[in-house]
Structure 1
Amino acid sequence: MKISSTRQRIIGGLLLLLIGIAISVYFWQMRLQKPLEIDMAHHQHSSGAVSQLGMHDHSPTGVSCEKFVAKEAPGPTRKFDLTAARTVLQLDNGETVDAWTFNGTSPGPEIRVTEGDRVVVTLRNKDIDEGVTLHWHGINAPCSQDGVAGVTQDAVRPGEQFTYTFVASAPGTYWYHSHQMSSIQAKKGLLGSIVVEPREPSAPFSAAKEVNALFQRLDSSMLLNGSSKALSVPGKAGEQIRLRLTNGDNETMNFSVDGAPFQVIAMDGRDLHEPGHLSGVMIPVGAGQRYDLLIRLPESKKVIVKSQSATGLSIMLGSGNEPELTEGGAMFSFVDYGTPQPDDPISKRKPDRSYVLRLGQSLFVKTINGHSFHEIPPINVKEGERVHITLINEGGGDHPFHIHGHTLRVISQNGTPLTGSPVYLDTLLMKEGESYEVELVADNPGLWMAHCHNLGHASMGMTMMLNYEGITTPYRVGTKSGNLPDL
Structure 2
Amino acid sequence: MDAAFVPLLLLSSVGYASGALAATNVRVVLEDLVIGDETYKRYAMKGDGPQWFEQDGTAGIKVRFGDDSFKVVYHNLLDVPTVIHQHGLTPSHNLDGVPYMSTPPIQPSRSSLVEFPLTYENTGTYFLHSHYGFQHELGVGAPVIVEAPMPLGYPLRSRIRRAKDVVMMLEDFGGYFADNETTNLDGFSPNEVYQELVDAWGDDSGEWDYEECMAPGDGMDVHFRYHLCNSKTLLDPVVVKHRPGDDLRIRVISGTTMSNYKLEFPVNVTLIAVDGQPVKPKRMDTFWIAVAQRADFLMTIPRTKNKKVFPIFARVASDKKQRSGLVITTGSKANVPEYSLTTDDAVGDMGDGVGTKQEMTLEAWKPLSPRRDVHWFHLNITGDNGFNAINRVSYQLPPTVPTYTPNPNPLVVKYGERVCIQLRNFNADAHPFHMHGKSFQVVEIDGQEFNGAMRDVVLTPKGDCKTVSFCFDATNPGVWPLHCHMAYHLYAGMLTTIEYEGVALSS
Q: Provide TM-score, normalisation by structure 2.
A: 0.71
Return the offset for 1:473: 6.8
Report if the CA contact (8 A) 1:406-1:426 is conserved: yes
Q: Pick one of 244, 251, 268 that aligns with 2:258.
A: 251
Instruction: Map residues 300-339 of structure 1 onto 2, 5 A cutoff.
Output: 300-301=306-307, 302-309=309-316, 311=322, 313-319=324-330, 328=347, 331=355, 333-337=358-362
Range with bigger deviation, 214-223 or 434-443: 214-223
Q: Are 1:100 and 2:33 counterparts?
A: no
Q: Which amino acid is the alignment partner of residue 128 of structure 2?
A: Y
- Report which of the two structures shows the higher radius of gyration computed on alpha carbons: 1
TM-aligned CA distance change 1:255 to 1:315, over 3 Å: farther
CA distance in 2, matches of 1:209, 1:397: 37
Report if the CA contact (8 A) 2:362-2:453 is conserved: no
Return the offset for 1:185: 0.5
Q: Are 1:414 and 2:446 counterparts?
A: yes
Range with bigger deviation, 113-122 or 293-302: 293-302
Q: Which residue of the partner structure matches residue 205 of structure 2? A: none
CA distance in 1, matches of 2:257, 2:169: 13
CA distance in 2, matches of 1:226, 1:111: 17
Q: Which residue of the partner structure matches residue 276 of structure 1? A: 282
Q: Which residue of the partner structure matches residue 169 of structure 2? A: 214
Return the offset for 1:311: 4.0
Q: How many residues are paired up?
A: 397
Instruction: Provide the alpha-carbon RMSD of the alignment.
Output: 3.2
Return the offset for 1:102: 2.4
Q: SS state of the match for residue 135, structure 2?
A: helix
Report if the CA contact (8 A) 1:258-1:326 is conserved: no
CA distance in 2, matches of 1:101, 1:314: 20
Q: Are 1:84 and 2:28 counterparts?
A: yes
Q: SS state of the match for residue 189, structure 1?
A: coil
TM-aligned CA distance change 1:397 to 1:362, over 3 Å: closer
Q: Which residue of the partner structure matches residue 425 of structure 1? A: 455
CA distance in 2, matches of 1:127, 1:256: 34
Q: Are 1:112 and 2:62 counterparts?
A: yes
Q: SS state of the match for residue 397, structure 1?
A: coil
CA distance in 1, matches of 2:13, 2:372: 29
Alpha-carbon displacement from aligned partner over 1:380-428 (angstroms, at most 9, x marks no partner):
1121111011122221422100011111111122222225xx4100011
Q: SS state of the match for residue 389, structure 2?
A: strand
Q: Pick one of 277, 288, 293 that aligns with 1:289.
A: 293
Report if the CA contact (8 A) 1:70-1:142 is conserved: no
Q: SS state of the match for residue 261, structure 1?
A: strand
CA distance in 2, matches of 1:88, 1:67: 28
Q: Which amino acid is the alignment partner of residue 388 of structure 1?
A: C
Identity over aligned residues, as a percent? 24
Return the offset for 1:216: 1.6
TM-aligned CA distance change 1:401 to 1:100, over 3 Å: same
CA distance in 1, matches of 2:83, 2:457: 20
Return the offset for 1:189: 1.4
Return the offset for 1:451: 0.5
Report if the CA contact (8 A) 2:12-2:114 is conserved: no
Q: Are 1:143 and 2:89 counterparts?
A: no
Q: Pick one of 61, 69, 77 that aligns with 2:14.
A: 69
Q: Pick one of 120, 132, 135 that aligns with 1:180.
A: 132
Q: Are 1:121 and 2:66 counterparts?
A: no
Report if the CA contact (8 A) 2:64-2:148 is conserved: yes
Q: SS state of the match for residue 23, structure 2?
A: strand
Report if the CA contact (8 A) 1:101-1:108 is conserved: no
TM-aligned CA distance change 1:104 to 1:173, over 3 Å: closer
Return the offset for 1:124: 1.9
Q: Pick one of 138, 147, 171 that aligns with 2:123.
A: 171
Alpha-carbon displacement from aligned partner over 1:27-51 (angstroms, at most 9, x marks no partner):
xxxxxxxxxxxxxxxxxxxxxxxxx
Q: Pick one of 373, 384, 401 that aligns with 1:350.
A: 373
Q: Which residue of the partner structure matches residue 439 of structure 1? A: 471
Report if the CA contact (8 A) 1:252-1:284 is conserved: no
Report if the CA contact (8 A) 1:412-1:436 is conserved: yes
TM-aligned CA distance change 1:208 to 1:76, over 3 Å: farther
Q: Which amino acid is the alignment partner of residue 262 of structure 2?
A: F
Report if the CA contact (8 A) 1:68-1:446 is conserved: no
Q: Which residue of the partner structure matches residue 144 of structure 2? A: 194
CA distance in 1, matches of 2:336, 2:268: 15
CA distance in 1, matches of 2:421, 2:13: 25
Return the offset for 1:453: 0.2
Return the offset for 1:350: 2.2
Return the offset for 1:312: 5.7
Report if the CA contact (8 A) 2:386-2:489 is conserved: no
Return the offset for 1:212: 0.5
Report if the CA contact (8 A) 1:252-1:285 is conserved: no
Q: Which amino acid is the alignment partner of residue 212 of structure 1?
A: V
